[in-house]
Structure 1
């Protein structure tokens, strides 16, 4: 089974994609993306299932994505959103936990100015609920969050965690060493998984497989192929590359012996895809 462990759809008229409408750098992808727009790509690369991930900080978007999943057989799982600053949102997690295609949540931590937000006492109910309901947690952050994610994962060892986009190393600035040491520490000291995704977006324009290889290989070597899953981050990848270029680079970097796990098996296991 070939699985794309991280992709998005959005309909701008829904009105809750603030980043998409206000950040000038993302203007090239400021348009609607629906399952029909992904069909040719999916067929070209033989993608059997995908994991649809939130792109708006709203409960309503999660409901929208679950509706898309209900109508689209190849959307295997949905990663949604709840407000970690509102403990009454546990009711949404409880309700969605009964939906066969709901997997878990992703707070948009990368967009929160306070680096220590994830450790605040008032948001801890969210992690506890994820654990209690046996849901997944997608960790979306930046290199500045590495130390706190290690603390968080250590605090909740039973939480099913996957790090999104390799924690977005600053490849364009050749920032490798500090990121590499801290990622290796998370891999060694916790049970977290990691998505091999988003690297092209963090590189300078014109990147190649050789540009991304040190970062990708470090993640694979640190976490092991049984804890690494490939994701396209489509359509965001279109800001600095394409689905085809990123898939080709990943296939060049990943060893043949690891391909079955990284391009499908790990995501199937982590997200419990039938």
Structure 2
């Protein structure tokens, strides 16, 4: 068995002792992608940042809300597509290849787990690289929609998004020019387009929740990485594990809503802790 890497947190031992010999369900939040350049919502550096994420009801009912969303998100997409998996993502993929991970339930919409090599990934909140028409339910790739935006807003995408802060969903802080932006519509029926992600105020589809719950039930331990567990969509799996007598371990920076339910909680950078954990568990 390999020893932990030199950058391993000093208190990694308790985490290793808890997880050794157990098959893991992994619940991942935005904190695992920060080292890839994608900000989180509630990490130590972003808790003070006021954000106004689009609400589902507003997006569906208000054409102006859709215009604002697509104008901002289309600029942020270049940053999202430029992100690459980091050592934390790759460590989880290593653990899966070693047969130690039942599956990854991710709250992220960036696709970086799959890009790192994880095979069993439940995208709890969907994925930004897919788009759905709210009128006829046709599915489009995000690349197709970006081309539609460029064709009706020449030069818009080339202006970039460097001047604004970006959220984990790719939305950037931008106001200039939005009133002139032409919102993309479905090429099949002319209906409104929505990224295939769960917006604030929207429910996670029940079959997806059931699939994620199955992963947690089949596992011997739940490992939470990079999530504050502030929203119920992820927190529910910590409560499920507790109810089923499955130990919970948390690795992230700062306190989380799940700390009272955790057998072990490690305050550490995931890019250090997860590779060290994979080494220590023999992956």
Taking structure 2 as the reference length, the TM-score comes to 0.29
| Higher-helix-fraction structure | 1
Taking structure 1 as the reference length, the TM-score comes to 0.29
